[in-house]
Structure formats: C-alpha cells, structure tokens
Amino acid sequence: MFPDRLRNLCLLIMDEARERRIRIATAESCTGGLLAGLFTEFSGSSDVLERGYVTYSNRAKEEVLGIPGDILADYGAVSEAVARLMAEGALENSRANLTVAITGIAGPGGGTPMKPVGTVHIACARENKAVLHEACYFGDIGRHEVRMATLESALEMIRKQIS
C-alpha cells in the first residue's frame, strides 16, 4: 500500500522514537489517517503511535482539536495557523509527547487561486519545543501523489522534531 521509501523512513522514526521514549499522535485532514495507517503497517507500532485523529471537516477540527471557529473562518482550514493549532490540540488532547498535523488540498478539486490544489500545511509539536511548520506546494500532481508526498514531508518533519 505504501512505497518502500515511506515504509523505511517510518521504521527509522519508530526506532528513534522508541530509543527516546517518544509517543506520537497524528491529526490529519487531507491524508485521512494515512500517516497513522503507515505507522500501523508494522508490528509493535503501539510502542510509538499513541493515537490518530482524522479531522476532515472544520467542525471536527473545532470539536476534537479545539480549533477556534474564528481562526478557521479568518485563515481557512488550509493554513499555517490551523496546522499549528491542530498539532497543539492533538498534543493537549492525547498522551503523546510529539504530534504531527496535516491540512491541505489534495485535489483534483477544491483549489483556489490563493490556495491551489497541492497546497499542504504540516506542523509538528513536541513538549517543551517550538512548533515546526512547513508549507508544501506540490502542484496538481494527482490526489494519490499529493497524499504520498505529504506523508514523506510529515515523516521528515517528525525526524527533525525527534532529534
């Protein structure tokens, strides 16, 4: 289901997280739980993956992660502000000590001139560290390809936040 490069990167992260006793939670929108699914491809992933949230709708982002409705209205769901708040909300509402949040437009529809298809915001929060953020502009490369590229970027961000 997942390319070997993603599987290998995930295994590396799981080893690093185990060594440092880090528990991870995901908060996903456009990837629909694929990142959590990637972790669960491997036996023993419960040592690392604490939980995963799929907050696809704005209401879910509000109710589950505590994103204020005015932030969603002002910035839109696909924004740095919302990605950061999703990561922080997952940290506050779980027993994880590292979280990653993903929100974007995978396509083929849904894009606008200001936020075209392939725009994704990823944020990673860790206890006692600054929240990392990356805006990715993959372009209209296909829904599956945007989602796989997003997973790779998210995994790379997790690695940075672990070390």
Query: Which one-letter DSSP state was computed for residue 130?
Result: P
Do 70 and 58 meet the contact criterion of CB atoms below 8 Å apart? no
pTM score: 0.97
Do 114 and 122 meet the contact criterion of CB atoms below 8 Å apart? no
Closest CA to 124 of 17, 8, 26: 26
Domain 4-162 grouped into CATH 3.30.1300.10? no
Q: How far apart are CA 42 and CA 65, in angstroms?
A: 27
Residue 163 pLDDT: 87
Question: Tens of pLDDT along the chain (163 residues)?
Answer: 899 999 999 999 999 999 999 999 999 999 999 999 999 999 999 999 999 999 999 999 999 999 999 999 999 999 999 999 999 999 999 999 999 999 999 999 999 999 999 999 999 999 999 999 999 999 999 999 999 999 999 999 999 999 8
The shares of helix, strand and coil residues in the chain, as percent rounded to the nearest 5, are 45, 20, 35
Residue 12 pLDDT: 98
Beta strands in the chain (DSSP E): 24-28, 49-54, 98-104, 119-126, 132-137
